[in-house]
Structure 1
Amino acid sequence: MKKDKFNSKFREYAKTLSPQSHEQKLIGEIYQSFNNLLGVNNCIQIGSYPRFTAITPVNDLDILHFIGNWDEKNHDPKTALENLQVLLNDSYKNPTDYEIKISLQTHSVTISYLDGEEEVFSVDIVPAYIFSKNEFSEDTYKIPEIVREKYGKNRTEYYQKLFQEHKEMDWITSDPRGYIMIASEIDKSTDGEFRKTTKIIKAWKNNLVDEDKNLELKSFHLEQVITNFFQEDQNLEIFDAIFEFFVELPGMINSPNQITDRANSDKFVDDYLADFTEDQKEKIKFARDGFFIKLENLKESISIDELLKIDFYQRKPSEKFLFDYRIKTFIDSDLKFRVDGFVKPLTGFSAGWLTQTPQLQKGLTRGKDQRKIEFSIQVDNISADEYRWKVRNSDACSQPRGEITLNHTKNTPDEVTEYIGDHYVECYAVNKSVCIAKSRVSVKII
């Protein structure tokens, strides 16, 4: 499949990930209800939704409520939050048909929208002190560190931990307006490629967590990785950015503390990676390889939804793929390219080309009747920059191989029939780091 087809499929799929119209309507009405209550200048919506990188479903919303200027010695929000709870109980006008439940935490007020016993949506109103200005002359804030925790169970556990350890909540500097400004500018300059790329990466990340909850990469971190890609090259297309993300992923998870928080030069949005075990990192790499293998073989009839499903591929130590060399695969079906293997004569046995000799396709002998095969290009109207060859033996044998070599197979001129199983040899025609054609020969050894 050519690059323009890939880009088109990714862009169309990204549209399906955007919050649905009924979600947008609900969020808009709820946020406006708090603007009406608190004053439009006294609160701000934070998170991925105002940056236009949220994906469906959206079930919660964080709102910062400004309660004054930061005072290093006096920043207990207890009174302000208690007053807010009273205000909500007395004056809040619920714009929905759902019942609401208002709960006071030590550093936030939670409003739950309920359909019977089921929570349909929730809002956390978090106190914020005005702290300083960013480079856009917009306010930055001091907020409770609880905001860094994912809404729901994570925050509940965080509150419990503080209580059990008799610790006070830390306050961190936050620059939501700066992140919103940068996301908006990059998305505009890339004609939406930034937003669409981020949503697809988040969808893959969510699928990964669904498969294994211990493999949770943080959405905000991944969004900042994509931000950096497009800041470095605003001409990236969606396929290029997605490809770059998965190429860089192993290095990313092995090297935490690379992306500085805008508001805290001593904080990193990827610091959580330092807690990942080797097993966790290895399994993420398996999922990444599974994605790439499907991408290299994606046909127009296969959906992006299928591509983003998690397959953990545990490659053999010797196995290589084109993506290991940053080679993208855009197969041009109009090109003519075919390879074959010539099985050399042996007394008492058939010889000839593998793809043209049915007797040879039934299986080749080994041991004392070992056969020699020379692989070569038989049809080629491409004149590629280079040709790469891969020999892959069956996983059941002791030497599965899988190496990729330039111009010929590793053991040219003669590969030999040493191991039983269903094997294959594949050749890739590469122009300017793009595989534009490939051909495979099956080799059965009995």
Structure 2
Amino acid sequence: MLKEKFEEFVDGLQVESIEEETKRVKEITKRLNKSFRNLENEEIENSHVVGSLGRDTAIKTFSDVDMLYVLPKELKKQYEEVEGNGQSKLLQKVKKEIKKRYPKTIIRGDGQVVVVSFESINKTVEVCPCFERSDGAFDYPDSNNGGSWKKTDPIPEIDKSIAMIEETDLNYKYACNLVRAWKNNKGFKFGGLLIDTLVYNFFNENDDYKSATFDDYLSLLKDLFYYLKKRNKDQKYWHALGSNQEVYNKDGAFVDKAKHAYEKIEDETEDSEDLYDALQDIFGKSFPVPEDIAEKEAFEKSALFGKKVRQTEEFIEHKFDVDIRYRLKIDCKVKQDGFRDKFLRHILRDNLPLKVNKHLEFFIIENEFDCLSKDAEDSLSYKIYWKVKNRGEEAIRKDCIRGQIVKDTGARKNTESTNFKGEHYVECYIVYRNVCVARDRISVPISTI
């Protein structure tokens, strides 16, 4: 039974079609070939789809297509000699030429790429103009800090990824898919190339899993999360598969998250009563639960409280695609008349009880996407949503589990109160162009002590 559920879940993660995305890449390539090479009707030459799509490790909720466009070599010297920031001017030139093909589409320069936002397909194409080097890698413009050239080498990364997918009979691809689903559910930033590199290293160190079947996936997950949790969270970079380039690790969040995931399933077996709860904690409510188990849980709750339990909880993945790419962190001021305000994260850190009859004011303390939108040439308007979920017997008895996803009113905060005991939580989401690009959760464990 578990084998079928893993297979069903993995199958649901697969990219169904990239026909529309491929069409846009070809249109951009055609326009740039005309602009920079005077080529007519050439839709493929001089461009490469790279990133997770190129490595064939993307999942269906991907929000961007990474492409390289290879410029004529003689242009590099021209932009090196131009007065001012030549890299910025090159990006602006590429932006201007793409704008000729899409005059009504939002197109912006973004430090190292030109971002073309297509509302019709709810995707962006990130165009990285570059120059081919003698070693087969590419130099691309970085307009930050006065401008410079950086090296990228995605072709051997793609080759190694495709080879490992074939060598492992898709197990490498599926493991990369599962890590992305976990990252999106837990809401932390974990770069795609770093994911693929670490999973690649895992398979090279654990040859037995190269021939795994879905019967082995619980064991595979345990060992994969164990491998990730044992990485050094302070390590600044790893060497990418294929290219051996440095892939940077900015905060090491994946290490602590992997530790939690491993502890969730470490002692679980296929016959464990809590196995599916653990898997849904890791991957979200999209991980399928056998019908008899779901019915049993619903019956037990109904029998315990003498009535059918009303389900009001909503899930972000049922409303929007989820592709976590930015950091988000929320906190909460705990207030009570006559007492000094405290921060909830400090209370949780110090293992202090959170008592009833207090006022809670949840707010955002870090929003990486907000910083990006302020620096953008065009406004990157996004929406904020909140979710308050009450848990525990008292919440069920009072028919107050809540869990609805509610749009922020503009205050960028959410006010609540500690009414009754339970292991409650609050989540916040950043949604841009109908994609949840950042999320965070904070526990609200209300005690009667």
Using structure 2 for the length normalisation, give the TM-score: 0.50
**1:207 counterpart (179, 185, 199):** 185
How far the C-alpha of 1:45 sits from its partner, in A, is 1.4
Correspondence 1:229 to 2:202: yes
Q: RMSD of the TM alignment (CA)?
A: 3.7
How far the C-alpha of 1:194 sits from its partner, in A, is 0.8
Q: Structure 2 stretches of 5 or more lacking a match?
A: 34-41, 286-449
SS state at 1:196 partner: helix
Aligned residues: 263
**1:18 counterpart (14, 18, 23):** 14
Larger deviation: 290-299 or 226-235? Answer: 290-299
The corresponding residue for 1:126 is 128
Give the 5 Å matches for 1:20-419. Answer: 20-21=16-17, 24-37=18-31, 38=33, 39=42, 40-69=44-73, 74=80, 76-90=86-100, 92=101, 100-105=105-110, 107-114=112-119, 120-133=122-135, 139-144=136-141, 162=144, 167-209=145-187, 215-236=188-209, 237=212, 239=217, 240-254=219-233, 256-257=235-236, 259-261=238-240, 268-273=246-251, 282=256, 285-293=259-267, 298=272, 302=276, 306=280, 308-309=282-283
2: CA distance, partners of 1:201 / 1:35: 32
Q: Structure 1 stretches of 5 or more lacking a match?
A: 134-138, 146-158, 210-214, 312-446
The corresponding residue for 1:444 is none
Deviation readout 1:200-251 (Å, 9 max, x if unpaired):
1111111111xxxxx4333321211111122345541262542221112221
Q: 1:193 to 1:80 in 2, by over 3 A?
A: same
Judge conservation of contact 2:118–2:124 (CA < 8 Å) in 1: yes
Letter in 2 for 1:29: K
Judge conservation of contact 2:261–2:282 (CA < 8 Å) in 1: no
Q: 1:297 to 1:290 in 2, by over 3 A?
A: farther
2: CA distance, partners of 1:77 / 1:33: 24
Larger Rg: 1
2: CA distance, partners of 1:144 / 1:81: 8
2: CA distance, partners of 1:305 / 1:86: 47
1: CA distance, partners of 2:2 / 2:243: 38
2: CA distance, partners of 1:122 / 1:242: 32
How far the C-alpha of 1:298 sits from its partner, in A, is 4.7
Letter in 2 for 1:192: L
Q: 1:73 to 1:234 in 2, by over 3 A?
A: farther
Letter in 1 for 2:182: W
Judge conservation of contact 1:111–1:124 (CA < 8 Å) in 2: yes
Judge conservation of contact 1:127–1:143 (CA < 8 Å) in 2: yes
1: CA distance, partners of 2:4 / 2:139: 42
Judge conservation of contact 1:9–1:304 (CA < 8 Å) in 2: no
Using structure 1 for the length normalisation, give the TM-score: 0.50
How far the C-alpha of 1:307 sits from its partner, in A, is 5.4
Judge conservation of contact 2:107–2:114 (CA < 8 Å) in 1: yes
Judge conservation of contact 2:2–2:270 (CA < 8 Å) in 1: no
The corresponding residue for 2:336 is none
The corresponding residue for 2:360 is none
SS state at 1:216 partner: coil
SS state at 2:176 partner: helix
How far the C-alpha of 1:51 sits from its partner, in A, is 1.2
How far the C-alpha of 1:283 sits from its partner, in A, is 5.8
Deviation readout 1:56-87 (Å, 9 max, x if unpaired):
21221122121244669928344543443333
